[in-house]
Structure 1
Amino acid sequence: MATTLTGAGPRLWAPARHRPFRLLWLGQSLSLLGDGFSVVAFSWITLGLTGSTLTLGYVLAFQAVPRALLTLVGGTLSDSWSTRTLMIASSWTRAGLMAAVGLVGLTGHLTVWMLCAAAAAFGAVDAFFQPARMSILPSVVDETLLTPANALLGAGTRTAAVLGPAVGGMVIAVTEAPVAFLVDAVCFVLCGWCVLGIRTRPRAARAAAPADARPVAEAAPSLGARIREGVAFTWRDPRLRTVVALDTAVNFCYAGPFTVGFATLADQVLRGGSATLGVLNGSLAGGAMLGTLAGGALGGRPRVGLLVAGLAGWLGAGMAVLGLVHSTPAVVATVLAMGFAIGFQGVFGLSWIQRNIPSDVLSRVVSVDMVLGYAAAPLSLIVCGALARTSTFALFATVAAVLAVTTVAVLASRAVREMR
């Protein structure tokens, strides 16, 4: 045990000794920082132009819908084209879009329809970046480094998600909204430049795939056929079905409870207002960061199926506590523990997918997972919004029941329990 603990630190930082990984980490972090900037910039400039929250909803929807619709296309192209090239092209295209919006905004000629068009184009181009960034790692680091590498990338992702909106808001406060778009463009330019410097390794041979699970892209080369192959590949493997189902359930149980639920809990139960809401969100993010780093430091190949079941059960218990307990310290501790579990399992789950899925279908599997997550989030917000009108107990108890069913379903499959 002492040896294991002594080696945890060096094991976590081992991927950072490789220049391609450092470039990937920096490029991905800059891109996600730019994503955070774009949300704040689009929101602020739309409200400044119209003063209408409804119009803001339209603008943000124009960005979200194309991203969700085209993610499967982006994942399919990532499996046949270079993921590195797609990331570079997406980054520099988004840079051009943001620079154009910023420059037009500074001239005072920016209109709502221009914002809607720019948001839609941004979401469409981003759909090609996201699956690629999730599937490029096996071609950048050795298989033995996947777990700590995913932990470091996850830590960068979570840090960028917090800093992006915060720094974007500061830029707008000090200057004006269009300047935030220009800073955003710089982030994407630098991201593309970092990825350009990465030298990836050749893709693994197709023969590595199980004989009954290989996609037959040569026999059906059309884009639609390749998308169907990716969906079929995901569905045929009970382990993949379970991982994707859990991710979808977690997204459902994440979006609503951790937005609508947190807001209702802070305001109506804990009576702490916006300050308490900030503490709850900070606890979730901090716990996830700690869990991500702990997973990377631990390394190894634990039984991912049991981790999957453990995460669902742990989150279900946490949701039950949130519905029953009215003490702020107890709620904060519970949220911190839930965040830790999400970060910890996420490192091993993603590493398992990258290690076990053939490279020529990996991006499509990832994109299927992402699309289901995109679909679960708005449904969760609607359901939790309706339940919150009844009581916070009804909201969190319903989510806890969904997670309990998920736990039982995972444990019922021997193939899933033995996943490593």
Structure 2
Amino acid sequence: MASTLASAGTRLRAPAKLPSFRLLWLGQSLSLLGDGFSYIAFSWITLSLTDSTLALGYVLAFQAVPRALLTLVGGSLSDKWSSRTLMTLSSAARAVLMAGVGLIGMTGSLTVPILCGAAAAFGAVDAFFQPARASILPTVVDKEMLAPANALLAVGTKVSAILGPAVGGMVVALSDAPVAFLVDAVCFALCGLCVSRIRPLPRGPEDSVDDAADAAAGTAKEAGDSLLTRMRAGLRYALEDPRIRSILVVDTAMTFCYAGTFTVGFATLAKVDLQGGSTTLGLLNGALAGGAMLGTLVGGSLSSLPRVGLLIAALAGWLAVGMGVLGLVDSTVAAFVTVLAMGFGIGFQGVFGLSWIQRTIDPSVLSRVISLDMVLGYAMAPLSLILCGALARHGSGPMFAVSAGVLALTALGVLSSKAVRGMR
């Protein structure tokens, strides 16, 4: 047992020995920390200026819409230039933008229109960073290290997602909201510095994609240089491969089931069904995050690669069972354990699913495929929130039942495809 744990730890630590990976990990963590800062700063200063939640909704919407609309553009440019270049430029632009907003705020001249414009610009620039962030890893580590490297990056993501808003709130509480923008600018500037120092691995003939994707890759590479043509080529590449099509469908279905039930659903479950309060809601969200982090670490430490297609089906079925249980539980302990187990499955599968994408898809179209997946998620999340909000009027049971049904059908759909079942 001790030797097994030591071997698992060695595999998990292997990517951290590479200087470029350490720079990527630090840069990504700083960027996500900055995202958390910006959310708190935008939210708090908007409410301070207007005392209106409607105005806050406008500001956050101005940030979200450009990000969703321009993500495909960001993915296309990342494939054309390089993920490192786009991440560096995006980080520098966000640093300048946040510094500008902070300095304006220090003079007391911030208004809601300025905040909306800054939020829109931030969302637009961030759209170029996100696809590049997800596609740069294969240029930094060998294919054999993708799973543990993704696990370490995911842990950094989760820690930053927790620390960013928490530390941002402390900065606002101890100083003022404009100061949070300035700290935010420092985070993005340091992120850009880290990413700019990454040195990609040399690539040889052995790094080509697998045979099943070669034809589509060739089509995408020969598609021309115009932005629209490149975007169409990326879409065609994704749709011509049944495995990638299936992953896009599964991810979209998962987002539909996650977005509403893990927000509206958890709140309804905590307050109405479990008769609890904010502490109960915090426990459920903590169980989801803790389970996901544990599953990520376990997945990243494995030496063998499971069949990704079967793992995707297993996760959908696992979550379907979990959703069904959540619709019936009347105990906080039972709900906590169920959510913890669901989070573990999400984290475990996420390591191998993303690694398969990075390992299999041709590097020349990788960012475009990832950006398409992101856009589908952006589109599905608000629909899920609206539907869950409507279903929640009748209690959490119907909401979790609908999610369980969608996930069960997703699992059956994955199992029905021979191409997907054979994914490794």
Contact 1:203 1:359 in 2 (8 A): no
- In structure 2, the partner of 1:218 is 222
- In structure 2, the partner of 1:408 is 412
Contact 2:102 2:179 in 1 (8 A): yes
- Secondary structure in 2 aligned to 1:312? helix
Structure 1 residue 55, shift from structure 2 partner: 0.6
- In structure 1, the partner of 2:50 is 50
Structure 1 residue 218, shift from structure 2 partner: 3.5
> Which range moves more in the overlay, 237-246 or 167-176?
237-246
- In structure 2, the partner of 1:149 is 149
Structure 1 residue 221, shift from structure 2 partner: 2.3
Measured against aligned partners, the alpha-carbon deviations of 1:58-96 in whole angstroms (never above 9, x if no partner) come to 100000000000000000011110111110100010011
- In structure 2, the partner of 1:227 is 231
- In structure 2, the partner of 1:332 is 336
Mark the CA change 1:368 to 1:172 in structure 2 (over 3 Å): closer, same or farther.
Answer: same
- In structure 2, the partner of 1:345 is 349
Structure 1 residue 4, shift from structure 2 partner: 4.3
2: CA distance between counterparts of 1:202 and 1:375?
A: 37
Query: Unaligned 5+ residue runs, structure 1?
Result: none
Structure 1 residue 3, shift from structure 2 partner: 5.3
The number of aligned residues is 420
- In structure 2, the partner of 1:288 is 292
- In structure 1, the partner of 2:381 is 377
2: CA distance between counterparts of 1:74 and 1:237?
A: 22
Structure 1 residue 228, shift from structure 2 partner: 1.0
Taking only the aligned residue pairs, the percentage that are identical comes to: 69
- In structure 2, the partner of 1:245 is 249
2: CA distance between counterparts of 1:46 and 1:384?
A: 27
Mark the CA change 1:204 to 1:167 in structure 2 (over 3 Å): closer, same or farther.
Answer: farther
> Which range moves more in the overlay, 5-14 or 101-110?
5-14
Q: Kindly indicate whether residue 424 of structure 2 is the aligned counterpart of residue 417 of structure 1.
A: no
Contact 1:86 1:129 in 2 (8 A): yes
Contact 2:220 2:365 in 1 (8 A): no
In the alignment, residue 300 of structure 1 is paired with which amino acid?
A: S
Structure 1 residue 385, shift from structure 2 partner: 0.3
2: CA distance between counterparts of 1:140 and 1:158?
A: 21
1:387 paired residue among 386, 391, 400: 391
TM-score, structure 2 length as denominator? 0.97
2: CA distance between counterparts of 1:306 and 1:244?
A: 16
Measured against aligned partners, the alpha-carbon deviations of 1:154-203 in whole angstroms (never above 9, x if no partner) come to 00001101110011001101111111000100100110111111111245
Contact 1:204 1:358 in 2 (8 A): no
Q: Kindly indicate whether residue 319 of structure 2 is the aligned counterpart of residue 306 of structure 1.
A: no
- In structure 1, the partner of 2:12 is 12
Structure 1 residue 38, shift from structure 2 partner: 0.6
Structure 1 residue 204, shift from structure 2 partner: 6.1
Measured against aligned partners, the alpha-carbon deviations of 1:339-370 in whole angstroms (never above 9, x if no partner) come to 11001000000000000011001001100111
Measured against aligned partners, the alpha-carbon deviations of 1:288-323 in whole angstroms (never above 9, x if no partner) come to 110111110114211000110011001110000000
Contact 1:89 1:192 in 2 (8 A): yes
- In structure 2, the partner of 1:104 is 104
- In structure 2, the partner of 1:357 is 361
- In structure 2, the partner of 1:33 is 33
Contact 1:247 1:369 in 2 (8 A): yes
In the alignment, residue 213 of structure 1 is paired with which amino acid?
A: A
Measured against aligned partners, the alpha-carbon deviations of 1:357-395 in whole angstroms (never above 9, x if no partner) come to 110010011001111111111110000000001121100
- In structure 2, the partner of 1:75 is 75
Structure 1 residue 208, shift from structure 2 partner: 4.0
Query: Unaligned 5+ residue runs, structure 2?
Result: none
1: CA distance between counterparts of 2:294 and 2:395?
A: 31
TM-score, structure 1 length as denominator? 0.98
Q: Kindly indicate whether residue 134 of structure 2 is the aligned counterpart of residue 134 of structure 1.
A: yes
